[in-house]
Chain A
Amino acid sequence: MSNIDTTVPTTVAPWRPRGSGGSGKGIRAGEGRAGWLFVSPMVIVLGVFLLVPIIMAIWVSTLEWNGQGSPFAGGAKFVGLHNYQSLLVTDGLARKDFMLSLRNTFYYVMFVVPLQTALALFLAVVVNQRYLKGRSFFRTAFYFPSVTSSVAITIVFLFLFQNSGAINKLLSFVGIKGPQWFADPRGLFQVAADKLGLVDIASPPVGLTGNGVLGLTWWDWISGPSVALMAVVFLVVWTTAGTFMLMFLAALQDIPVEVEEAALLDGVGAWQKFRYVTLPQLRPVLFLVLTLGLIGTWQVFDQVYLLGGGNPAKTTLTPAYLSYRTGFNDFNYGNGAAIAFMLFIIITALTLLQRYVLRDKDAIAEKRGRRAQLRGAGAR
């Protein structure tokens, strides 16, 4: 689309050029050894605190372990994939809870990630204006929620979203009777359909409630986020947008002024400039923000914990919280670990998918072309 080179210049030079010296000969002898020596503290720390615990957790997820005795000394029964089965196949409470948590988090991610990315980008563009007065004030103000403890913010939001809290007071000024936010388990889509007169929320269509899949009825699947979950969405968008604004801002300030001036000379409008000049250059940061947002939202825990662990009616239950509850409350550590790995698989798959969707098509085409050229040269 654009003819501007969007590849980010790599500042890190290749550590050792290919073909420089053999192994262990010449002036560069022992560089590999030294390199490993330098990274060994990090390798050990990551190994002990990350890799090994993950492997241990995989092992626990195949056990029926109640937290007594060692899971590595035959203290627990090996059950193979039974824990995964009870989450995905066996009809029961475990599967229903897991599916509910997936549904909740799916809708949560669908709302939070686009909203927070858009808001962060918008804020970054605003505070990047050279002629904006009080720029540093706004930058600080927008970033402030991100450095505040999420526990404190959640408590404050609990007060704001009370039935007679500030939010509902504000809504009442414009004649809207606000919902009972954190006590309202109705799904957003259900409420919308009810308002439009498509369905009656008190007696939903039997076709939807009568049958379903994976332990939940269709009516439950398509409910959308509950009103209570929407309050959490607002909370999280508000707190995280500041962090991502900072990332976008850094990227915006990296864009050379000449490029924009050149675009202006070519006679583009403000929107065209943003869409065809600025945005393509933000692609690496956009990928970063979306990935971090995706991972963070799928792992949402502390807000749920503080709001009472899934209330109302399990509509704020998330896999991360469910994993914790299954392990430390129900003493079913195997099942809890299995939930954690299902979450891991989901996040990894979505990140890979997103990487594929956001890949730089221009750069790929260019690379392909270059390779074809080389091949052509070789054949000659």
Chain B
Amino acid sequence: MKSSSGRRLAAVAATASLALLTAACGGGGFDNGGSSSSAPTTEKGPVALKMLIASSGDAETNAVKAATAAWAKTSGNTVDVQVAQDIKQQLGQAFAGGTPPDIFYTDAARFPDYAKAGALYAYGDQVTKPDDFYPALKSTFTYDNKFYCAPKDFSTIALQINNKAWKAAGLTDGDIPTTWDQLHAVAKKLTTGKQTGLAIGDTRDRIDAFMVQAGGGLTSKDGATITATAPENVQALEFVKSMLADGSAKFPKELDAGWAGEAFGKGIAAMAMEGNWIKGSQKNDYPDVDYQVAELPAGPKGKGTLLFTQCWGIAAKSTHQAASVDLVNSLTAVDQQLAAATAYGVMPSRTSAKAQYEQKFPEDKAFVAGGEYGVGPVNKPGFDSVLADLDTGLQGLKTGDPKAILASFQKNAEAALK
């Protein structure tokens, strides 16, 4: 076996495998590049765009396909819309592989990581009427003072109330809570037998709203420093803890539900704190539940809610950036945003569409109102695991120490900022 010819052959085999490997990697997989905010790349003639979306269902997929098809027809290009199973993972792999889709949904929470990595093409200066977007949304998609991508739409958190349970507890429209104490009081009243007063998601994406209402927040207003240990935040968590402790509020897992909307729809919870996506699930899964939506109650420092949004990301490595920007401008036009709102219940990101939207969907007033005072997610790269760790702390809030939870976040967040 160890004869010289054998060794030679081994060398041949090794070389062959190396040659195969380099051939496999030579296909543009590992080329360097990825500049942002430069002149858009274009190609002559009609282009074929690839789009990756994270769809909430057939309604959204079909609406996006129809909107892109309309643009493709007038511009003479083609758009291939792909629905992602797990867009986080698929985009991560596509960026690493060097062949990302031209245009894709970019979640606000993922945006800073993509921007920092240089994966996004900053085309904010080429968007039509950029100041028409809600300021909070614009600043969400601004990294290093550069407005990167056009907000697609947005959602806010509001309070959903089951009318039947509300009446059964002897409450009237005048009792709709506008302060924390009132919220706690009605939640206690609504907690009877198998029914819990309030279902609230066990994540920062719900509980942070109380911090905003208390005048606090995980970061300072300009986002420069971490202010998690501020007394306002402690006060907010103490309040949520007091509701969890007496059972007037519960996390969905305790209610055997995947999320608060499910508990609300099944009637296990009389109130829920969810975003406007709850409309779709109520309509499809629990059409018989009669409910109304109110703004979140104000805290010690006034009203506050959380904003959720996505933008149309364009890849830094796309070779069709000019065409992609054109498509985005078509998709974020007022009429297209209203069409999307009708098709799958999202709120337009342009303030000029607000009046028409409110007229069309008067029941969404509470959600739309949140656009004025809502706060976007923490806009920092490398924060995903830090925020996930905060969620872990919040899951144990019922018995945990709010100060310790916030202190641990403060420590990790400061380390991640460096």
Contacts and interface: CB of A to CB of B under 8 A. Distances in A.
Interface stretch (A5-13, A29-37, A293-301, A360-368): A29-37
B153 to A, nearest CB: 24
B20 A44 contact: yes
B205 interface: no
A329 B16 contact: no
Interface in A36-77: 36-37, 40, 43-44, 47-48, 51-52, 66-75
Contacts of A164: 256
A32 B13 CA distance: 14
Contacts of A243: none
A93 B384 contact: no
A93 B393 CA distance: 13
B253 A52 contact: no
Contacts of A180: 253-254
Interface in A298-315: 310-314
Contact of A330 (B18, B253, B382): B382
Contacts of A72: 30
Interface stretch (B55-63, B112-120, B306-314): B112-120
Contacts, number: 129
A70 B30 CA distance: 4
A35 B24 CA distance: 27
Contacts of A71: 30
B9 A33 contact: yes
Contacts of B382: 330, 332
Interface residues of B, number: 48
A147 interface: no
Contacts of B95: 67-68, 331
Contact of A313 (B93, B386, B395): B395
B359 interface: no
B412 interface: yes
Contact residues of B: prevailing secondary structure = helix
A328 B395 contact: no
A93 B29 CA distance: 32
B254 to A, nearest CB: 7
B76 interface: no
B20 A183 contact: no
Interface stretch (B31-39, B180-188, B281-289): B31-39
A36 B10 contact: yes
A24 interface: yes
Nearest to A73: B32
A93 B96 contact: no
Contact of B17 (A16, A43, A92, A325): A43
Nearest to A163: B256
Contacts of A37: 9
A351 interface: no
A163 B254 contact: yes
Interface residues of A, number: 53
B238 interface: no
Contact of B253 (A15, A23, A32, A183): A183
Nearest to A74: B32
A202 interface: yes
Interface string B30-70: 11111000000000000000000000000000000000000
Contacts of A330: 113, 382, 384-385
Contacts of A15: 1
Interface string B376-417: 000000101110010010011001000000000000100110
Contacts of A182: 253
Contacts of A202: 399
B89 interface: yes
B385 A68 contact: no
B362 to A, nearest CB: 37
Contact of A329 (B10, B24, B88, B396): B88
A97 interface: yes
Contacts of A92: 412, 415
B92 A67 contact: yes
B5 A33 contact: yes
Nearest to B393: A313
B385 A47 contact: no
A333 interface: yes
A187 interface: no
B21 interface: yes
Contacts of B4: 23
Contacts of B251: 183
A185 interface: yes
Contacts of B412: 92-93
A199 B89 CA distance: 43
A190 B361 CA distance: 52
B169 interface: no
Given A93-B389, A314-B392, A330-B113, 20 more contacts: A24-B3, A30-B5, A32-B9, A43-B13, A43-B17, A44-B16, A44-B17, A47-B17, A67-B96, A68-B96, A69-B34, A70-B31, A70-B32, A72-B30, A75-B30, A75-B32, A93-B415, A162-B256, A310-B392, A327-B92
Interface of B: 1, 3-6, 9-10, 13-14, 16-18, 20-21, 24, 29-34, 88-89, 92-93, 95-96, 113, 116-119, 251, 253-254, 256, 382, 384-386, 389, 392, 395-396, 399, 412, 415-416
